[in-house]
Structure 1
């Protein structure tokens, strides 16, 4: 298949297809998450064992990212993205049939590797699609991931209420992911071939390794902050502010809704002010929001603080991923794998670090860590201008 044939696919169709893959990934992860309690009960494992197995999933995802990045550059996103979608769809079958800790560990190895693979592959495709547009569109792709997760929460809750067996729910979800992945793949596009430099032109050099690590460090900081909200927002309301469990759920809800809305709005703002401003002032807004949560003990104000935290974090990571993918189109996937991988490490590390700090200080004071990382991001956002 020639490059001309591949790139003949309309950018709008490729954009919709990429939206679908982000939504599918969010849906697949969400269906696994809502069934975690059932899987834990079926396998007879303890909470501590489950925590260790979730680290296995995270490690497998990181490996999947590092494998998928170079493969995207070698095989092309049009081949790799559907393959990764099929892989995570197939892997969804496994947790529902696990009967003990080691079968669940094998299942989570597959789920993690598939999730990491599609994460890098679809972000690489998003960078290619964005290049065909006259304005930024990356943040909206990430918003679709959140929409997919919301659908999974609704569908999963309905299935659990109807007592549908976990194996059936996850298997049907896996089939849906596989079928849609195969159907959407035909609309993806490849990056155009890089023209050979003229005889009098200098050969293009690889981007400085230090720059790649700086982008990765910013992704680590912002995604660590996001992970803190995912796991600790509701607990902060319940344990620090003394609310009921049902009221505590609104804390994460405010964060998640604000982040989703922010991602749908970020692209148009980024087209006007530029990606560096999105990272800098978004991190500043996030720091202000979480500081409000720390110092104000009133539930309505704290809800506003969590919402500001989500709104501030919503646009930064997509800008970092886009920057990594455009550093060198010849190695876009491999460069994104590094930045996405470091961000994912932050997402996993954040909740654990806050848990460790909470043993030594009040939970509110432990939130100073993500506030400090947001402040460091504000000071370091100028790296985006390079």
Structure 2
């Protein structure tokens, strides 16, 4: 595996790599935040109903899940740096064109490409993060995912501001997509790129490991958390606009509230992981999300919704950092392969989420559909006891 050849870097090199990978997490968040805030724009531009909109979101999820079967191989063959550079160019280009196509028939395949590129980017930077945590002996994963949340908040807040200035949505997505690509190109040079060889790393297990045993347990927990998180990313702005009656510029602030609180919780998450049991932390935070989202749906009030979104974000914050890191502790599997393995189940939440929400919204209401977040958070709280204990 060509990416597993670098000797242990010195302290200064590790510091540069941590800074560089924070920028990558942030850039990915900006792209995700801008896309999530413009889901209503896509819906109105192509005159989609909820069921058809779910097909667009499903296309991105299909690309994401399919790419996980080769993401570990890609990272191993070309390295983290080239993976993120290629990935961000693809994502930025798709966002720049998503509101320019003549019809939905052209949107669907490009969203498959968008999801695949995002998935490879995600696996590579998470693998980099776990390597940095292992080499430095410092907990950094929550902090890195906090950078993603700050980026997502920034992307959503930027959209809200540009909408107030009446900048056309297509121009917004083009500018944000190409700007994020430029940021990644400028900052990716500091990444370790190649990783120290890992015990048990060989052939197929270095590329992809079929989830079984503890990897399967962790993957199912990630699936539950990602289903809830994915529903918030893709539908929370539309819920505020359509069900609560907020203008889109204000509704986009709901996305920013969700992501901003998630960022703050993640920046404090490494300290909490050092102090409390990961099982206890995950169970308590998931319970917080369930209660907060239930209050949002029962109230239907703008201010309550914005505050509630913040608590939902804070509660879901520890899910991915804790569980991705737990997956890399499973013996006999490389970091990239372990993350790809559990992500293959986790991203399936994004496969199930869009059509499920679209079906419920079409049949009952979007308010009823958003209750999936409550159900997912409750299941995650119950399942937290299965998280393997940190040595």
TM-score (norm 2): 0.79
Corresponding residue SS for 2:227: helix
Offset of residue 22 of structure 1:
1.1
How many pairs were matched up?
A: 375
- Tell me the alpha carbon deviations over residues 160-200 of structure 1, each in whole angstroms, 9 at most, x when there is no partner: 56665666544444443333323322211132123689xxx
Cα distance in 2 between the residues matched to 1:119 and 1:258 = 21
- Tell me the alpha carbon deviations over residues 247-269 of structure 1, each in whole angstroms, 9 at most, x when there is no partner: 87776555443222211211111
Cα distance in 2 between the residues matched to 1:104 and 1:294 = 31
Q: What's the counterpart of residue 65 of structure 2?
A: 62
Q: What's the counterpart of residue 17 of structure 1?
A: 20
Whether 2:288 is the aligned partner of 1:285: answer yes
Instruction: Give the alignment partner of residue 377 of structure 2, picking from 374, 377, 380.
Output: 374
CA contact (8 A) 1:73 1:331 kept: no
CA contact (8 A) 1:62 1:116 kept: yes
Structure 1 residues 173 and 371, CA gap change in structure 2 (3 angstroms): closer
**Rg bigger for which structure?**
1
Q: What's the counterpart of residue 201 of structure 1?
A: none
Instruction: Give the alignment partner of residue 262 of structure 1, picking from 265, 271, 292.
Output: 265
CA contact (8 A) 1:207 1:327 kept: no
Offset of residue 5 of structure 1:
6.5
Corresponding residue SS for 2:387: helix
- Tell me the alpha carbon deviations over residues 327-384 of structure 1, each in whole angstroms, 9 at most, x when there is no partner: 2475221221132232222245345435544677787776665444433333332332
Corresponding residue SS for 1:310: helix
Q: What's the counterpart of residue 194 of structure 1?
A: 198
CA contact (8 A) 1:225 1:347 kept: no
Corresponding residue SS for 2:136: coil
If asked which structure has higher relative contact order (CA below 8 Å, sep 6+), I would say: 2
- 1:114-129 correspondence to structure 2 within 5 Å: 114-129=117-132
CA contact (8 A) 2:36 2:237 kept: no
Q: What's the counterpart of residue 7 of structure 1?
A: 9
Offset of residue 229 of structure 1:
3.6
CA contact (8 A) 1:221 1:370 kept: no
CA RMSD of aligned residues (A): 3.8
Cα distance in 2 between the residues matched to 1:311 and 1:119 = 21
- 1:87-102 correspondence to structure 2 within 5 Å: 87-102=90-105
Structure 1 residues 196 and 109, CA gap change in structure 2 (3 angstroms): closer
Structure 1 residues 35 and 50, CA gap change in structure 2 (3 angstroms): same
Q: What's the counterpart of residue 245 of structure 1?
A: 246
Instruction: Give the alignment partner of residue 340 of structure 1, picking from 330, 340, 343.
Output: 343
Q: What's the counterpart of residue 206 of structure 2?
A: none
Cα distance in 2 between the residues matched to 1:119 and 1:209 = 22
- 1:56-205 correspondence to structure 2 within 5 Å: 56-159=59-162, 169-189=172-192, 190-194=194-198
CA contact (8 A) 1:98 1:107 kept: no
Whether 2:214 is the aligned partner of 1:211: answer yes
TM-score (norm 1): 0.79
Corresponding residue SS for 1:10: helix
Structure 1 residues 72 and 297, CA gap change in structure 2 (3 angstroms): closer
Long gaps (5+) in structure 1? 198-205
CA contact (8 A) 1:236 1:364 kept: yes
CA contact (8 A) 1:58 1:348 kept: yes
Q: What's the counterpart of residue 227 of structure 2?
A: 224
CA contact (8 A) 1:84 1:114 kept: yes
- Tell me the alpha carbon deviations over residues 84-114 of structure 1, each in whole angstroms, 9 at most, x when there is no partner: 2333234444325422233323332322221
Whether 2:21 is the aligned partner of 1:27: answer no
Cα distance in 1 between the residues matched to 2:237 and 2:112 = 29
Cα distance in 1 between the residues matched to 2:199 and 2:344 = 30
- Which range moves more in the overlay, 140-149 or 349-358? 349-358
Cα distance in 2 between the residues matched to 1:306 and 1:375 = 16
